[in-house]
Amino acid sequence: MEANMDDTNVDMGFSLLRGERTGPRRGSYQTPHGSFETPCFAPVGTLASVKGLLPSQVREAGAELILANTYHLALRPGEEVVRAAGGLHDFMRWDGPILTDSGGFQVFSLEGLRRVDDSGVYFAGSQSGKALFLDPKEALRIQRDLGSDIAMVLDECPPAGAPRKQVQEATRRTLLWAKEAARVHQQWGGLARGQAVFGIVQGGLFADLRRECAEAIRELPFDGIAIGGVSVGEPKPEMYRVVEETVPLLPAERIRYLMGIGDPDDLFEAVLRGIDMFDCVSPTRHGRNNLLYVPEGRIKIRNAIYKKDLRPIQEGCPCPCCRDFSRAYLRHLALAKEILGGILQSLHNLTFLEILMRELRERIQEGWTPTALREWFRLHYPGWGRGFDPQNPESPILGRSR
């Protein structure tokens, strides 16, 4: 099948506007469907839908880039359906940039339903009953037919705590697949065809494997580089260490993407270390499960303390949830299992993260030092800036029942 995407005259790619190889950076990434400013957070629309939200609501929350998933869309409705509809942008009515994951994360998340070898990944039939085979070329072909602006290479993501031998094998295979993906991308015309392709650095928690992988990936003609294999169960300090050790190995002129990160403290710490873009399901997943981000930590809105609380979730937040509704009403929706509650709370959480990223962009552009940024974050996001850890039962979750 021939490439689905037309050649484009758009000057695609990353522009570093302020910053260096390490430390906080300010940039912009141009695609055929517009640009997004960095550092940025991309909400996840796995099945061509940011769950519960209209595209216009996602845009109004401040998002400029969204993510969809190659594996899931290939199963349902199938990339041929999306292609016939004119690509993801027309299919889901999102007119901004779209990034598609390769299916590599499902190598991690669907353990037991897949078989991996050097040729690729064989996925057994799951929800749709349809089996799927992905290799580096097939993963890119599907993403080409989906018509995303940024495609990710197929990689193997080992779980946290995996033994060195397993991580070493996954890193070797990731590099093998990356070389083939780079060859295919160039054969199809590279960036000139209107779709960027990003490589992925794996290596688990092993510094030498991360270095080996990063040094090899940066030599390949990828349009951006992601750090994968984090937020898969490792402690936060270990994740920060991996980012801090990997970023200096990456070219300053290419965009850096930390995959699967969405807690405010993680976003902040990674921005300080030189990461440009992020994605995660957390703001909408937490919203549907009645957990809300606020500067002081997280609110569990189902707790009885909010039964008569007529204040908004967060004073001054411009989202519809905070602008028009009270904590008492949101608690009522949660207990009544009304769909509206999840929609409003998802809008709030997404707006919260997008405001954080906008504030970071503004301060980096103004030349704030990492020390000044850390002090600002500690003062304005006190529940997160003092080392708040949602995995720690002693961390403050507002309204905790006593």
Question: Which of the residues are catalytic?
Answer: 101, 279
Tokens of 229: 């294999």
DSSP state of 148: -
How many angstroms separate the Cα of 256 from the Cα of each of 26, 106, 132, 251, 390?
12, 21, 29, 9, 26
Rounded CA separation 214/227 (Å):
9
Rounded CA separation 367/212 (Å):
33
Sequential DSSP letters for 234-260: --HHHHHHHHHHHGGGS-TTSEEEETT
Omega of the bond leading into 158 within 30 degrees of 0 (cis): no
Element of type H or E holding 320: helix 320-324
Backbone angles phi, psi at 38, to 5 degrees: -120, 150
Do residues 147 and 89 lie in contact, with contact meaning Cβ atoms separated by under 8 Å? yes
Query: Which amino acid appears at position 297 of this protein?
Result: G
Element of type H or E holding 57: helix 55-60
How many angstroms separate the Cα of 68 from the Cα of each of 42, 168, 224?
10, 28, 17
How many angstroms separate the Cα of 328 from the Cα of each of 164, 292, 313, 335, 351?
50, 14, 10, 11, 20
Q: Which residue has the tokens 């055929």?
A: 32
